[in-house]
Structure 1
Amino acid sequence: MPYPPAPWILEGYGFQTLHLLDVDLARRFVPSDLQIIQVLPGKTLGGVYLVYYSNSPVEAYNELIIVSGIVTHAGKVGAWISHLYVDNPNSVEGGRNIWGLPKELAQFRWNLEGFPQVHVSQNDLALCTLTCARRSPSLNLPLAAPVLSQLDSKVMLFSGHGKFNLQLIGSTLDVPSSSPFSPLNFGRSGLSFYSNPLKITVEPPHIV
């Protein structure tokens, strides 16, 4: 087996942005049997997660997660991941077969000099670029994030939890119009964080 069973323990560093998204735009990326939660009238919460894992069960890899909304099913609430890109084939297989996540292969280019930046592309298609403008003092926090997914038409729930050394940052997110998640209309700015180091445990899923 090219990947181990869950839980997976992941260590590295990365960026997280949070955005208010139009529910009508998010709906096209969320299965119809899941209800989208509105955090404000007509708005749900989405985000972009860009991270480099220096240590994982399938060796080092990069990851881009696109959360297109907060959803609920059978009384359970979690983030809905509509797009997910990594640069490790074993991570693709593990993500798809264990958690039902839509992992695809992509390429990542990091530049941590000056204003840190990460660019993600899939062959010749640019997916997004995130540039960090400034950082605040850091704060160590425990965090947990429930996620709903689908595996073989079954709705699954799992959680990622761990410790984060968080810094509030200013950032600019560029998503080209040709990017598959451009219709979500993230905008160029949102509430943004940088975490270094971070350590996450991704638990096994269970059927909702």
Structure 2
Amino acid sequence: MSDVVLLKALRAQQWIKNLFIFGPLLFSQNLSNGPLLYLAFRAFVAFCMISSAQYIFNDIRDLEEDRSHPIKSLRPLASGRMKMGLAVALLIGMGLGGFLIAATISLPFLLIAIGYFVLQALYTVWLKHIVILDVFIIAAGFLIRVIAGGLAVDVEISSWLLICTILLSLFLALGKRRYELTLLQENASNHRP
């Protein structure tokens, strides 16, 4: 298996979402503070690992559905380019690694990382099938990242940053749903309610 397949399985292209962790550091004007920047970077790495574990969990859970989807069928597990055993090992390794890093940052950061993982697991198993609520769960993921960033570096998060994050994340989540409806057209109801 190539490195490209591995990165696709980990959804490395989605790690950009975890840059929201740096928001509180940036807006508290502490971006040039070396120790805080290092803490934020560790928080970013922890969330990248945890979110990758969550994406793999999603791919395992939705394997059969993904095989009939025009785009998701190209994912490593759905296309057969990755074996189930390796996917499970990656899920466990990335999850545990992310939580171990989170535990070295602070207890509040670890707890919010666990909360993020649990919320995303509930989304995969159940909440993504509830119209409108699914969009709010996606948006909540961005908000959790901002709050996690504030907890990691122990800075107060402005209400302005929280409001802007909520609005931007709702815009992104609704845009994602619209794109899916456009892509799937008449088959959309076979994939989402």
TM-score by length of 2: 0.30
- Which of 1 and 2 has greater Rg? 2
More strand by percentage = 1
More helix by percentage = 2
Identify the structure with bigger relative contact order (alpha carbons < 8 Å, sequence gap 6+): 2
TM-score by length of 1: 0.28
